[in-house]
Every structure is written in structure tokens, then in C-alpha cells.
A and B are shown apart, each in its own frame.
Chain A
Amino acid sequence: MIYTVNEAGYYGKFGGAYIPEMLYPNVEELRERYLDIINEPAFQQEFQELLHDYVGRPSPLYFAKRLSDLYNTKIYLKREDLNHTGAHKINNTIGQVLLAKRLGKQKIIAETGAGQHGVATATVCALMGLECIVYMGEIDIARQRPNVERMKMLGAKVVPATSGSRTLKDATNEAMRHWINNPTDTHYIIGSVVGPHPYPDMVARFQSVISAEIKQQLQTKEGRDYPDYVIACVGGGSNAAGAFYHFLDNQKVGLIGAEAGGLGIDSGKSAATLALGKIGILHGSKTVLMQTTDGQVVEPHSISAGLDYPGIGPLHAHLSDTQRGQFYSITDDEAMRAGLLVSRTEGIIPAIETAHAFAILTKKTFQVNDVVVICLSGRGDKDLDTYVNYQY
């Protein structure tokens, strides 16, 4: 089985580029050039240097002793929360902004849910002196206030998306419309492994630094370069794609994703795409999505803005379809409790998105000697209000 993207832009039956003609020239230009650009030595040097000196990579792989004792297994945390701007998102925005410069684009747009991708985009635009517009759902602007202020301070313009569910899906719609209306001077930095080909593959490549480092770090700490399990939360799926990437073909490594179950998958208020969705087309990609029998996209719900999305990257749809990956849905309540527990056990407040990954520990039992790596995709500073006001 092949888990990487094929020539035509598909992962099994998922992927492709289902876009109106107005987007075709931009997406086609990217498709033609992304691999050549990414593989240029000068690009790689600039990318690696920024990841090292600016982002602070490699991020530590931390053995979480107290959590390991609690769950009777060996738990390592991949500390993406310690990156500059506080999440894995910056790995991708650094890569894409360098690419955008080589494509001669002067303006950058992005969508954001939790605001982490928006902040990471605003940050690299400040760094490169590029104009930046971030679309964000009205609901998310209210629940991720600190990140909105950060984006503004960094010089980005934050535009509220007021249609539909006023969350990540709608912010993505608005960003795509903006790109249609600005076809020549603008690059769209998509924040996850979603969208038309080549975005899912391109973003996965930029995020793959996560699993490349895990391999090296485990070699030192465990004497072997792979874990028994990698666990990550999945919104669009970029931190999961990065954490899985170099283990996709190693069947000894179990790949586990945590989707946002919201109030429960039968509640009608959920974002558990793989549990509830079926194959369809959204945002340029054939993937699994939550939809009515008439093919209208269902408005999702999650307490976590970053996971509040009715679709999922085509790579993950394929991993689920082929059973290479196992995906669990985690309710709001399970995630919030896991977030609190990690805070008190390890002294680390995770983003609510990431807290979904930790809740897997209550769903699945691991062996004492299993090496379990959890991708700690981001920190919870942005979520303090939600954590503090939650009725546990």
C-alpha cells in the first residue's frame, strides 16, 4: 500500500484538485513548481536555518514520567508547543512563505480556526515584510481573542467570516474567494493538509520535520528510531501528518488520530468527520466530509476552534480507509479533562486541540514497554478563558 500522494494528486481514492477555473492557474503553478523549489539546496538551507534559529527547532522529545506512571506505559511528548508562536503551525508557514517569495508573490492570505495558523502566518509575513490578510470565523474571533490581538500586533489584517457556521470552514471559503479575486500577486498559505493538490502533500512535507526529529531523538533515548505508537489530534490533520510522515511505511508503528467528537457523535453537535462523514468534495479536495444525504456540508461543532471543521485531509481519509491509521473521536468533555490532567501532572497546559490527543490515553490501553509518542501540537495560553470557565 502506498501512503504518499501519487502523480495525479491522490491518496488512494482521496485528494485531487476540484477547483473552479479561476483558481486553476495559481494551483497549477504551485503543482508544477513546489517540488523543484522545495528540493533546491538554497531553499532547504534557508528553511532549515529559520527552523533552527527562529523557530527554535529541534523541539524536545520529552519523556513524561508522571503521565507514564499514571497510564503504565512509556509516554514521550513531542514539544511543538515550545516552537516560536506556540504550535506546529509555524513549520508550514515558514516553508510556504519562502516558496511564495520564490513564486514572486507579494501578498499572503490565510484562513485560521484557533488562530495559531493565523499567528504563524502573520509572524512569517512580518519577518519577510509581506502584506498579510487572515480570514477567521466570527465565532472563533470571539473564542480565541488573544490570537486575534497577536495577529493585529504583528501587522496582519484580520477579516471576520460571517457566513455559515462562522468558523474554520467559512474562513476557508472566504480565503478561497479572496484568492479568486486576486489571481496574480497573492499566495494562499493553507494551514493544514487540506485543499486542492498539491497543498496536502506540500504541507505534510513541511510538517514532516516533526517525525524526522522523533526518529533521531528516539534513537538516542530508546536505541531504536521508531515508536510503537504515534498519537496526534486531527483537525485538517497537519500536525498528525507531520508526526506520522516518516513512519507511514513502517507497519510496526501504530498511527492514532484523535478527532473532535464535540458533544458526542450522536448529538448532532460534533466534528468527528471520519465517524460521521462520507466521501465528497470540499475546498478543492475529494475526502471524507460531514454532509447531508443531499450533499450539503453539515456545520460542525467542537469546543476546539482548530478541530471545528467538517472535513479532513485526504491523507487521513486514506489512512482510515485502508485501516493504516486508527481514529478515535474525543468529546469536548473528555478533551477538557485530559487538558486539565496534563496541566497538573506534567506542568504543561496544552491547547484544547492537543488535549484531544491526550484523551486517547483513557480510550486505549498500552503495554508497559510500549513507546508512545504524543504530538503536543500547541500550548494552551490561547485557551485559558475556555479552560477556566469550563464546568468539569
Chain B
Amino acid sequence: MIQNRLTKLFQTSQQNILTIYFTAGFPQLRDTQRILEALEQSGADIIEIGMPFSDPIADGEVIQMSNQQALENGMTIAKMFEQIANFRQKIKIPVLLMGYLNPVLQFGMERFCQTAAQVGIDGFILPDLPLNEYLSDYKSLWDAHNLSNVFLITPQTPESRIRMIDEVSEGFIYAVSTSSTTGKTSAISASQTAYFARLQALNLKNPFLIGFGISDKASFRQACTHARGAIIGSAFIKMLQNSQDLPVDIANFVQKIKS
């Protein structure tokens, strides 16, 4: 059993858990800390810090753009860790790192886990890390550092695999709302509702949060009727891109969704 801010959150807080994704180093290289603080202050429940990659194949245009801009700004995993070295002095909510496997491997998996645990990260989302490889090569390392690993599932994921993922997860399961790249927004359809109901009926030991295509209060509310909470990424990035005053705009964005 691992224990961290994430597992604690799900033990205490029950509903409407708002998770926000942003890309480290976007819009400006040094915005990371400011965005973290503004998110905590305005009432976000979980934060995912995206580590930019040159070839984000699971992402739509908006997050592709933020990745590219962050890389042009000079963001690296090492720089990100420098920027968040002392973030736990102010930020108390669970924070996860999300990104593609290659930059993490080049940084070094052991060093990555150690540094993450040291600065106060609670877990990882690495969508292209195979389940088998996580179990054989990394799980004991994650566990030793009290780091959660969050797996994705989609409407096409068979029940046997969902159960396997549930078995090895501690924290939550990331339920992708529809098989798509990030940033596709459309109203939640009947088939999606059926998929969420199917998930609920499985009585998994882990809670699930719904992500991909959640963009505003309406879609967040709707997702929350089927799950413990939801995850917003592209819509938040789009707001950051157009923002003249990050703290104010972030507060408005979060309050509008939570109100």
C-alpha cells in the first residue's frame, strides 16, 4: 500500500474532483510555479504537470502547440525539477507528472523517481509505458517512493484488462471519455454514458476520473455524475495561451467550473 497526497485525497474527498493539466514551460519558461500556485489557490484538487515532448502522438493541436512552445522556450525535465524544487512550501494538493516515455528514459528512470519523490510529486501518467514493463521493471521503484502510477483506459478497453489495471493501480484510473486524441470537445453522447455506467458497475477498487473532451462547467458537471471527478487539459491550455494576467484568468477559469 502506498500513501501519498493522491491516495489521501480519494480517502477524504468524495466528489467533483477537478484535475487540471498544463504543460511545464508554457506559455513562458518560468510560468510553472505561478500556474501551480494559482491553481491551488483557486481550488483545483489535483494538478498534472505535462513534460513536453517533440512528438506527442496522443495529443491534439492545442497540446501539441503547448509542447512545441515549451520546448522552444527551453523546457527540459531537469529544468522543470529545478523550477519545482521548493513548490511544496506553498502547494499542498496532489501533483502528478504526465508525459511520454522517451524524455523520461533519457533523464534516467531511477533518477526521475528519486527527484520526483524528493520534490514532493505524488505520481506519474506515462501513457506510452506498457503495463507489462511497468510491472516487471518499475513498479517496485515507484512503490518504494510512494509514487502512484495512473493508467488510461478507453471505451475499447476490455473488462479483463480494466480489472488488471485496477488491480495494480493505487490512486485513480484515467478513463478516456472517447477514443480520441486530446482536445476534441463534443457533448457527452449516449454511448459514452453507457460506457461510464459500465465502468461504475464494475465496482473497481480505484476511483476513476474522466478525461479528454472535458472543457467547461457543463461537461465537467456531466462527467461528475458518472465519476468521482474529471480532468481538463486542452481548454485550460487554450485559456493560458490567450491570457494577459495568469493568476486572475486561472482563478476565473477554475471558479467558473467549480461554481
Contacts and interface: CB of A to CB of B under 8 A. Distances in A.
Interface string B44-72: 00000000011101111000100010010
A177 B60 contact: yes
A22 B58 contact: yes
Contacts of B85: none
A19 interface: yes
A18 B76 contact: no
A296 B179 contact: no
Interface in A279-293: 280-284, 291, 293
Contacts of B60: 177
A219 interface: no
A56 interface: no
B128 A280 contact: no
A44 interface: no
B153 interface: yes
Contacts of B57: 20, 173, 176-177, 180, 283
Contacts of A169: 55
Given A21-B154, A183-B179, 18 more contacts: A16-B130, A20-B127, A21-B153, A22-B180, A163-B68, A164-B55, A169-B55, A173-B57, A176-B57, A181-B181, A183-B154, A280-B105, A281-B101, A294-B78, A294-B103, A295-B103, A295-B105, A297-B55
Given A177-B181, A281-B105, A21 B152 contact: yes
B11 interface: no
B118 interface: no
What's the dominant secondary structure at chain B's contact region? loop
Q: Name the residue in B58, B64, B71, B176 with the highest tally of chain A Cβ atoms < 10 Å from its Cβ.
A: B58
B244 interface: no
A297 B52 CA distance: 12
B168 interface: no
Q: Name the residue in A163, A164, A177, A283 with the highest tally of chain B Cβ atoms < 10 Å from its Cβ.
A: A177
B157 A19 contact: no
B105 A25 contact: no
Contact of B77 (A20, A163, A283, A294): A294
Contact of A163 (B64, B127, B181): B64
A183 B114 CA distance: 37
17 contacts: A18-B128, A20-B57, A21-B151, A21-B176, A22-B58, A22-B156, A24-B161, A25-B154, A164-B55, A173-B55, A177-B59, A177-B60, A180-B58, A280-B102, A280-B106, A295-B53, A295-B106
Contacts of A20: 57-58, 127-128, 152
Interface of A: 16-22, 24-25, 163-164, 169, 173, 176-177, 180-181, 183-184, 280-284, 291, 293-297
A187 to B, nearest CB: 15
B130 A181 contact: no
Interface string B121-139: 0000001111001000000
Interface in B170-198: 176, 179-181, 184
A19 B129 CA distance: 7
B104 interface: yes
A294 B106 CA distance: 6
A86 B108 CA distance: 44
Contacts of A18: 101, 128-130
B206 to A, nearest CB: 15
Nearest to A169: B55
A245 B100 CA distance: 32
Given A19-B128, A284-B128, A291 B181 contact: no
Contact of A22 (B55, B102, B130, B152): B152
A295 B71 CA distance: 11
Contacts of B77: 294-295
A295 B67 CA distance: 13
Contacts of A173: 55, 57
Contacts of A17: 130
Contacts of B55: 164, 169, 173, 282-283, 297
A19 B154 CA distance: 13
A163 B64 CA distance: 9
A-B complex: 9 closest residue pairs judged by Cβ atoms: A295-B106, A295-B103, A20-B127, A183-B179, A21-B152, A25-B156, A20-B58, A296-B54, A294-B76
A296 B103 contact: yes
Interface in B71-111: 71, 76-78, 100-107
A360 to B, nearest CB: 30
Contact of B127 (A21, A282, A293): A21
A196 to B, nearest CB: 9
B112 to A, nearest CB: 11
